[in-house]
């Protein structure tokens, strides 16, 4: 992070660029496993770790047999209370990989956001993400086209007295591929710094279906309700969740999960 003088304001900026080459780095419980199943050594994705539900819908799990990738992020603080983040990533397969000996584009993402703090009680965030996701390769669906998305998003955080706060987030993922376009909104209320409640819904507002999907071709809703309590280094979470079958990503970690509708209780702790 560096600082420069702009008029009476002191601005700062930071730049991070990283690249990666992977070739035949496979270690699994059995060679028959695919995607993230049976992995002994976990390779993190090179791409940005998105936390919003729709922003993380299409992620790029590391390809153990081979990939080349690059990511760059620029953080700008032109004045006090304003922060701008720009991020870009690109991942492709290696040349010699059994696909006509040609490199294939697997994933790219362009991301930008601006965060504005107004006084001590209000914070606003607005941004835009666009993604290309090679669904044929990542999910082994030979007849599926590459997914191209455009996702505007935003967040409002309002602070109240006695450590209470209200957070509202929203995203709209527009695409003509995979299952079509989705909208997602969530409202989270912090009663105390260690107690919070939230309600949200992800809706398949403009559905698109392939023949083998086995999903009703209509507007579908995936609601979420949860309560969270933090005690020291431990987090207790109880939630009602309805989720789709497939690759689900949270906090940059992706897992192949079955369709699920019901109550889930989780505990996480640090030692």
- Residue 96: pLDDT band (50, 70, 90) is low
Is 15:1 a contact under the CB 8 Å cutoff? no
The Cβ-side half-sphere exposure at 160, using a 13 Å CA radius, reads 9
Averaged pLDDT, 33-53: 75
Domains held by the chain: number: 1
pLDDT in tens, 188-245: 999 888 889 999 999 999 999 988 888 888 899 999 898 989 888 888 989 898 887 6
Name the one residue in this structure whose structure tokens are 């780095």: 25
pLDDT of amino acid 80:
86
DSSP letter string, 226-250: EEEEEETTEEEEEEEEEE-SEEEEE
Q: Which of 163-167, 173-177, 180-184, 241-245 has the lowest mean pLDDT?
A: 241-245
Is 199:187 a contact under the CB 8 Å cutoff? yes
Q: Check which CATH number belongs to the domain holding 63 and give it.
A: 2.40.160
CA angle in degrees (0–180, nearest 5) for 51-250-108:
70
Q: What is the chain's alpha carbon radius of gyration, rounded to the nearest angstrom?
A: 20
pLDDT of amino acid 102:
72
Tokens of 241: 């969740």
What number of other Cβ atoms are within 10 A of residue 143's Cβ?
A: 9
Averaged pLDDT, 6-18: 77
Residue 9, domain extent: 2-269
Is it the case that residue 112 has pLDDT exceeding 70?
yes
Is it the case that residue 114 has pLDDT exceeding 90?
yes
Tokens of 62: 């590391």
pLDDT in tens, 44-85: 888 888 888 888 888 888 887 788 999 999 999 988 889 999
Averaged pLDDT, 131-151: 91
Quote the pTM value. 0.80
Assign 21 to helix, strand or coil: strand
Output the average pLDDT for the chain.
84
Q: Which of 156-160, 206-210, 247-251 has the lowest mean pLDDT?
A: 247-251
pLDDT of amino acid 74:
94
pLDDT of amino acid 129:
96
pLDDT of amino acid 53:
86
The Cβ-side half-sphere exposure at 170, using a 13 Å CA radius, reads 7
Is beta strand 147-160 parallel, antiparallel or unpaired with respect to 164-173?
A: antiparallel
Is it the case that residue 271 has pLDDT exceeding 80?
no
E-strand stretches of the chain: 2-6, 9-23, 66-79, 82-92, 105-118, 122-133, 147-160, 164-173, 180-192, 195-207, 221-231, 234-243, 246-250, 253-257, 260-269
Work out the widest C-alpha separation in the chain, in whole angstroms. 63
pLDDT of amino acid 22:
86
Instruction: Determine the Cα–Cα distance for residues 159 and 183; give it in Å rounded to an integer.
Output: 26
- Residue 33: pLDDT band (50, 70, 90) is low
Sequence-separated contacts (24+) of 126-132 with Cβ below 8 Å:
126/152, 126/153, 126/154, 127/152, 127/153, 127/154, 128/152, 128/153, 129/50, 129/55, 129/153, 131/58, 131/107, 132/105, 132/107, 132/108
């Amino acid at each position: 992070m560096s600082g420069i003088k702009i008029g009476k304001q002191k601005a700062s900026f930071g730049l991070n660029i990283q690249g990666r080459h992977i070739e035949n780095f496979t270690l699994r419980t059995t060679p028959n496993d695919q995607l993230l199943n049976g992995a002994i050594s976990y390779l993190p994705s090179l791409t940005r770790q998105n936390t919003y539900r729709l922003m993380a819908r299409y992620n790029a799990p590391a390809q153990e047999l081979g990939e080349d990738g690059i990511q760059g992020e620029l953080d700008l603080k032109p004045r006090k209370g304003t922060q701008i983040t720009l991020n870009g990533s690109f991942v492709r397969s290696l040349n010699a990989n059994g696909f006509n000996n040609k490199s294939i584009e697997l994933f790219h993402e362009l991301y930008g956001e601006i965060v504005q703090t107004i006084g001590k009680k209000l914070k606003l965030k607005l941004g835009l993400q666009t993604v290309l996701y090679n669904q044929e390769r990542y999910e082994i669906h030979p007849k599926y086209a590459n997914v191209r998305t455009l996702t505007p998003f935003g967040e409002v955080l309002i602070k109240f007295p006695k450590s209470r706060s209200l957070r509202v987030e929203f995203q709209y993922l527009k695409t003509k591929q995979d299952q079509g376009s989705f909208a997602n909104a969530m409202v989270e209320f912090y009663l105390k710094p260690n107690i919070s409640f939230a309600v949200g819904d992800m809706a398949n507002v403009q559905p698109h279906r392939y023949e083998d999907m086995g999903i009703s071709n209509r507007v579908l809703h995936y609601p979420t309700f949860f309560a969270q309590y933090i005690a020291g280094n431990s987090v207790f979470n109880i939630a009602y969740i309805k989720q789709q079958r497939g690759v689900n990503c949270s906090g940059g970690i992706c897992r192949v999960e079955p369709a699920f509708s019901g109550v889930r209780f989780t505990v996480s702790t640090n030692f």
